A and B are shown apart, each in its own frame.
Chain A
Amino acid sequence: MKNWVGILIVFLLLIAPALAHHGNAAYDEKTVTVKGTVTEWRWINPHTFLKFDAKDEKGNVVHWIGEWNNPSTLINFGITVKSFKVGEEVTVTMRGMAKSGANLGRVSKVVLSDGQELSMGDER
């Protein structure tokens, strides 16, 4: 993991994300973008999720979780079980953050280190 991996948080009040399949009442309407390193990619039902680590302003490692749609949906948007590798650098945009304040959000887009974007476009 590169030391300079940092955290970039942008809070934007946007339209609430639409639906996935398991409940969104635990999420607010904020948008957050975080740059970090993949620690785990869980390709499971009911929903996939991406775990990644970032560093805060003081250099402390912060664990993040991005929840995404189920595999049956993501596969149609070019996102697969092989989309992320542990140790890979990613920039994750989440629309809808956990109201609990946990470092948890609904993924809307991931940019890989080579610039490739993974998203469901306008669909949620």
Chain B
Amino acid sequence: MNAKTFTIVLLILLPGLGVQFAQERQSGVSVHRDGWDRVVPDAPAAQKPAPAPVRDLTGIWEPTPRYRDGVQATGARNYPADGKPEHELPFTPLGLETWKSHKPGFGVTAVPVAENNDPFNLCDPIGFPRIELFNLRAIQIWQNKNQAQIVYQNSQVWRNIWADGRELPKEILEPRWYGYSVGKWLDDYTFVVRTTGLDERTWIDNVGRPHSDELMVQEIFHRVNQDILELTLTINDPKMYTRPWNALDKFPLRLQPEWFDIREQVCAPSEAADYNKTIAAEAAPEKKR
């Protein structure tokens, strides 16, 4: 095939594959692009999705209807720290005391960035479940009969979820930033994951909700149809909370095209230091003139 023929074939095939290369940039309007600078098509409004495949979560998923719906800057989506009574968490005395010791940048307990003690400011691992309760962007799920693996855009990290029948560790000898996870299929479309052994240095969400070594997180991944995956995430930590609470409740993710490239979103210590030195230092109260 000569170059001219190749070019013609390419021009014919690409639109059929749904690939849209960089169109003219238009500021002021959100045109969603993947990491390869391809325009991501909007979800078809009138098209009925195909049925969900059986016991299959594989694919690239993004929050929907807006790709930024997983940012959750003011805390877990179901319980933002906004001062509303219905969003108050059932803290134990220890839970409340620990939360007050955390100095987040957002929510009702927000402090100026210079006073912020968020471990993620220094690029400590964001950890689980915060990886799903703050800046939940694109994820890719890989799966075989023994395990599912979730790759996250945020921090470019992954988790392994064992589905080979093993139990969670009886004793945690080495707490992990992303914990120990086991999953099983409740039915052909519902995968339930339990995670424990989580490092206490991590925050649950972006407003510093705390957890202890007794935290047990349950995720329910429910494949509604071919296009939609719903995530429900429950926090159960009797040291910090008097009852379990749902941080996410059927949070929807949409299947993305197979060509979708997950962009880098990495917390680099040198960049964080530059940001903290430049922005935090200028915003510090002692700078007041």
Residues of A within 8 A of B (CB): 19-27, 42, 44-47, 49, 65, 67, 70-73, 75-80, 98-104, 116-121, 123
Q: How far is the CB of B30 from chain A (nearest CB, A)?
A: 5
Residues on B with C-beta less than 8 A from A22 are 105, 113, 121, 275
Contact A23-B30, Cβ < 8 Å, known A47-B279, A104-B279: no
Whole-angstrom distance between the Cβ of B67 and the nearest chain A Cβ = 8
Q: Is B25's beta carbon under 8 Å from chain A? A: yes
The docked-state distance in angstroms from the alpha carbon of A77 to that of B116 is: 29
Q: Are A25 and B110 in contact (CB under 8 A)?
A: yes
> Inside 8 A of B110's CB, which chain A residues have their CB?
23-25
Residues of A within 8 A of B111 (CB): 23, 25
Q: How far is the CA of A102 from the CA of B113 in the complex (A)?
A: 14
Q: Among A71, A73, A116, which residue has its beta carbon within 8 angstroms of that of B68?
A: A73
* A120 and B268 contacting across the interface, CB-CB below 8 Å: no
How many chain B residues touch the partner (CB < 8 A)?
48
Instruction: Please name the residue on chain A nearest to B27 by beta carbon.
Output: A78
Q: Is the CB of B73 within 8 A of A21?
A: yes
Q: Is the CB of A45 within 8 A of B272?
A: yes
CA distance A70 to B137 in the complex (A): 13
Name the one of A19, A23, A120 contacting B28, with C-beta atoms under 8 angstroms: A120
B271 touches A78 (CB 8 A): no
Q: Looking at the complex, which one of A19, A21, A42, A98 makes contact with B282 (CB distance below 8 Å)?
A: A98
CA distance A25 to B73 in the complex (A): 13
Contact (Cβ within 8 A) B267 A46: yes
A78 contacts B288, C-beta separation under 8 Å: no
B224 within 8 A of A: no
**CB interface residues, B 2-32, toward A, < 8 Å:** 25-32
Which residues of A lie under 8 Å from residue B25 when comparing CB positions? 78, 80
Interface string of B54-66 (1 = CB under 8 A from A): 0000000000000
CB distance from A51 to the nearest CB of B (A): 8
A45 and B111 CA atoms in complex are apart in Å by 20
Query: What distance in Å separates the Cβ of A78 from its nearest Cβ neighbour in chain B?
Result: 4
In the complex, the answer to whether B74 meets A19 with C-beta atoms within 8 Å is yes
- Chain A residues with CB below 8 A from B150, complex form: none
Known: A23-B105, A23-B113, A25-B113. A100 touches B282 (CB 8 A): yes
Residue among A20, A25, A102 having the largest count of chain B Cβ atoms under 10 Å = A25
B256 beta carbon closer than 8 Å to chain A: no
Answer yes or no: B274 CB below 8 A from chain A CBs: yes
Q: List 23 A-B contacts (CB under 8 A).
A: A19-B71, A19-B106, A21-B135, A23-B110, A23-B116, A42-B278, A45-B272, A49-B275, A65-B282, A72-B263, A76-B67, A77-B29, A98-B283, A99-B112, A99-B283, A100-B285, A101-B288, A102-B282, A102-B283, A104-B283, A119-B27, A120-B30, A123-B30
A25-B112, A45-B272, A47-B275 known; A76-B31 Cβ under 8 A: yes
Q: For chain B residues 31-53, which have a beta carbon within 8 Å of chain A?
A: 31-33, 37
| Nearest-CB residue, chain A, relative to B67 | A76
Q: A99-B283, A100-B282 are in contact. List 7 more A-B contacts (CB 8 A).
A: A22-B105, A45-B272, A77-B31, A100-B283, A102-B287, A121-B28, A121-B30
